[in-house]
Structure 1
Amino acid sequence: MAPKQPLSRERCLELLASVPVGRVVFTLRALPAIRPVNHLLDGETIIIRSSLGASLPSTATERGAVVVAYEADMIDVEARTGWTVVVTGTARLVLDQALQERYEQLLHPWVDEPMNCIIGIDCDLVTGYELGAVR
């Protein structure tokens, strides 16, 4: 078993900003749903892009905001080392035109379909662990 060391909030945010992909977890028809997405970190807000017809934007539009979890990690399976970060926070549509334009320039979707919606996730609760090899 590899030892697990808790990480500070600051270190968690640094690590989150260092990777381009994570997974957003939200509720869909009263069940958990998980979607891989690429992201960027702007201060303490995770920014993702989606399409307005997708599940998460539809939920955020209906409720104004929705609580989600966001997870990103970097794991070396052979060395049994790495880290994982989980953020719990409120997701809402980014409606400010200037911010929309900025994020569209900075964050390019990895899938080949229109991404006409930008979602910001507040980093309310941030936890993380570093995984180390057995010493």
Structure 2
Amino acid sequence: SMRALPVVLPVSFAVLDDDVVFRTGTGSKLGAAVDHAIVAFEADDVDFARGTGWSVCVTGRASEVYHPDELAAVAALEPVPLVHGFSEHVVRVRADILTGRRLRPASPEGVGASSTRTMRTRG
């Protein structure tokens, strides 16, 4: 959040040990990580022509990655930032709550589209 309001920002990301990781420069995303804020991260994809898609949401504590082994693992995954510039920091969002939804097209009989939802919490 920024000034107590929700913020949505696009990032390129990767998954490391079930957690979301991404590179960022100094700013609001890094500030949230340094403060160990609880954040939500969503990724989705929809094929409108087929009426299919998926959506995944990860909710958990953000933190900056400092350990050399973890930084090397993230570098190997190559989450390339969407914006050019300095992205010298790595943020990890711990997947404490993971929800997902798969979208299915309408049936040939004309019954509406459906979705299946799953949820997992980390103990």
| Cα deviation, residue 29, structure 1 | 0.7
The residue type equivalent to 2:18 in the other structure is E
| Cα deviation, residue 79, structure 1 | 1.9
Per chain length, whose mean CA-contact separation is higher, i.e. which structure has more relative contact order (CA < 8 Å, sep 6+)? 1
Q: Which residue of 2 aligns with 1:122?
A: 94
Q: Which residue of 1 aligns with 2:33?
A: 60
Which structure 1 residue ranges, 5 or more long, are not aligned?
A: 1-26
In 1, Cα distance between equivalents of 2:90 and 2:67: 10
Q: Which residue of 2 aligns with 1:36?
A: 10
More strand by share: 1
Secondary structure of the 2:8 match is strand
Q: Which residue of 2 aligns with 1:86?
A: 57
Q: Is the 8 A contact 2:32 2:62 kept in 1?
A: no
In 1, Cα distance between equivalents of 2:99 and 2:20: 14
1:28-75: per-residue Cα shift (whole Å, max 9, x none)? Answer: 1100101111111112111111002x10112322x2x11111111110
The residue type equivalent to 2:84 in the other structure is D
Residue 22 (structure 2) pairs with residue 48 (structure 1): yes
TM-score under structure 2 length normalisation? 0.79
TM-score under structure 1 length normalisation? 0.73
Q: Which residue of 1 aligns with 2:70?
A: 99
| Cα deviation, residue 128, structure 1 | 0.9
Which structure 2 residue ranges, 5 or more long, are not aligned?
A: 108-123
* Aligned residue-pair number: 106
Amino-acid identity (%): 29
